[in-house]
């Protein structure tokens, strides 16, 4: 980034562009609603194949994704929070305060997989924690 870009960013209040200062009023984690494009990019290699082969490859991808999503390790930290390790990332989830160190839950009010892992461990229903 050039000096002019940095100066321009610093003239704007941090809560407009810095995630750490964002207030969390956004209710959607996909701002431009390109979920179909993301899915198409995810299955790009399989799309060119015959329908049965394509569906089988997509099924295998979904199974691998589901298997990966169950690989959370957690431990309660004693401060009302839970340390969750997921895919080489570590976050602290505070269920009572509805906060997580990743800040995604505060921004979107949609619990991420590591938050859901902490909820299941505490016998909580994740649907009850999603903002309407």
pLDDT of residue 17: 72
Residue-range definition of the domain harbouring residue 129: 72-132
pLDDT of residue 80: 79
> H-helix or E-strand containing 64?
helix 51-69
pTM for this predicted structure: 0.50
Same domain flag for 64 and 76: no
pLDDT 10s per residue in the chain (132 long)? Answer: 556 777 887 888 776 677 777 666 555 555 555 677 888 888 999 989 999 999 999 999 888 877 766 677 888 887 778 898 877 888 999 988 888 998 888 888 888 888 888 888 888 888 887 776
- Three-class secondary structure of residue 131 per DSSP: coil
Domains in the chain: how many in total? 2
Same domain flag for 53 and 88: no
Same domain flag for 92 and 53: no
Q: What is the largest CA-CA distance in the chain?
A: 55
Q: Which two tokens stand for residue 10?
A: 């610093």
């Amino acid at each position: 980034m050039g000096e002019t870009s940095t100066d321009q960013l610093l003239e704007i209040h941090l809560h407009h562009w810095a995630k750490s200062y964002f207030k969390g009023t956004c209710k959607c984690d996909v701002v431009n609603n390109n979920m179909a494009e993301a899915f198409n990019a995810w299955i790009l290699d399989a799309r060119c194949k015959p329908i049965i082969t394509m569906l089988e490859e997509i099924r295998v991808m979904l199974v691998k994704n589901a298997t990966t999503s169950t690989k959370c390790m957690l431990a309660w930290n004693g401060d009302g929070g839970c340390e969750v390790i997921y895919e080489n990332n570590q976050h602290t989830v505070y269920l009572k305060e509805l906060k997580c160190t990743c800040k995604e839950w505060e921004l979107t009010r949609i619990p991420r997989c590591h938050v859901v892992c902490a909820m299941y461990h505490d016998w909580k229903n994740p649907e009850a924690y999603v903002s309407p």
